[in-house]
Amino acid sequence: MRWSKSVTMVEAHAEGEVGRVVTGGILDVPGETMVDKLGYMNGDGDALRRFLVFEPRGCAQMSTVLCLPPTKSDAHAGMIVLQGDKAHAMSGSNAICTVTVLLETGILEMREPETTVVLDTPAGLVTTTAECSNGTCINVKMEMPPCYVDALDTVVNVPGNGQIQLSIAFGGIFYALVDPSEFGLTIEPNSARALVEAGSSVQRCANQQLQIVHPEHPELNGLSYVMFMSTMSDGTLKSATILPPGRVDRSPCGTGNSARMAYMHARGEVQPGDTFRALSIIDSRFEVELKRTTEVYGRPAVVPGIKGRGWIHGIRQIGVDPSDPYPLGYCLSDCWGDGLDLLN
């Protein structure tokens, strides 16, 4: 065996959503801030993302987290989330995976009964508190960055479906929040493929028809994901987040439910101190809280809290032989969906 590059990752999942956390082989990436590093990964560093994410070393149904030195003195670690389409600024499930890996592997010291870990992300600092017992993270609570509604009850024209009503909200990244009844669908495992097709079309059309830019951080722009959302009879929040080029988040989605808290507050449906149970398409669970209100560049905003569990399930080392014809990997629509133009 001869490798010109090797990377070690600890594999974990947060309520079903796989997040592989890079723990060896990548010391850092260029950039003075995490936003700069995000820009590098979506530019000159894209080859590294492809190496880590695409087949044969990766697969569609997972994320890879770059765990980097923090750029701010009050943070313990930096975090950038790599997906099939690009690098993203924040992910709640991946933050849970990252904290679980950092503590349970001893990279950061675990203190019982609680350990605080501050993550430096391109979306801002995320303060997490891990409940710890017998060397294990029982759960991870996160205070998310300020979240706000960018557009309430707007519409996009989706070919074949006409005008679809949605709202745009920032939860660490930008979401389109859509009622699945707009497409005659419900959130259940048997609807996953149909939800992916509908959500993917909404995401592409919204990015073509709407201008979506964070008012303080213009580098954070464009619609990342679509979250289909419904509410059960007992008040439980149900959702399915669609990630390009075409898959469903297995977790309830931390950034998506943060965006949903901003949306619900804008509609007068939630107040500070209110808590909810949030379920994914596979009925895995997060606890969601509206902690307090704030402002983002003069706009009404909220600070949500997310609580969930992570589990380590493997350790993996990947590499590339100098003669390997696929050093950056490959992707096919049978696994990655029909939006392969988004990946190139």
Between CA 298 and CA 296 the distance in angstroms is 5
Task: Check whether residue 29 and residue 82 sit in a common domain.
Answer: yes
Task: Check whether residue 267 and residue 196 sit in a common domain.
Answer: yes
Domain total for the chain?
A: 2
* CATH number of the domain encompassing residue 116: 3.10.310.10
Between CA 290 and CA 259 the distance in angstroms is 11
pLDDT recorded at residue 256? 98
Task: Check whether residue 21 and residue 128 sit in a common domain.
Answer: yes
Between CA 91 and CA 29 the distance in angstroms is 19
Contact between 186 and 303 under an 8 Å Cβ cutoff? The reply is no
Task: Check whether residue 129 and residue 173 sit in a common domain.
Answer: no
Domain of 116, in residue numbers? 5-143+311-343
Task: Check whether residue 172 and residue 132 sit in a common domain.
Answer: no
Catalytic residue of the set 253, 258, 280, 331: 253
Cα angle 306-245-284, degrees, rounded to a multiple of 5? 30
Told to judge if 331 belongs to the known catalytic residues of this protein, a careful annotator would answer no
Whole-angstrom Cα Rg for the chain:
19
Catalytic residue of the set 91, 200, 239, 251: 91
Question: The tokens 């990377």 sit on which residue?
Answer: 7
Q: What is the pLDDT along the chain (344 residues), one digit of tens a residue?
A: 789 999 999 999 999 999 999 999 999 999 999 999 999 999 999 999 999 999 999 999 999 999 999 999 999 999 999 999 999 999 999 999 999 999 999 999 999 999 999 999 999 999 999 999 999 999 999 999 999 999 999 999 999 999 999 999 999 999 999 999 999 999 999 999 999 999 999 999 999 999 999 998 899 999 999 999 999 999 999 999 999 988 999 999 999 999 999 999 999 999 999 999 999 999 999 999 999 999 999 999 999 999 999 999 999 999 999 999 999 999 998 888 877 666 65
Contacts of 259 (CB under 8 A, 6+ apart): 147, 169, 170, 171, 172, 174, 175, 177, 227
DSSP 10-37: EEEEETTEEEEEEEES----S-SSHHHH
pLDDT recorded at residue 344? 57
Told to judge if 91 belongs to the known catalytic residues of this protein, a careful annotator would answer yes
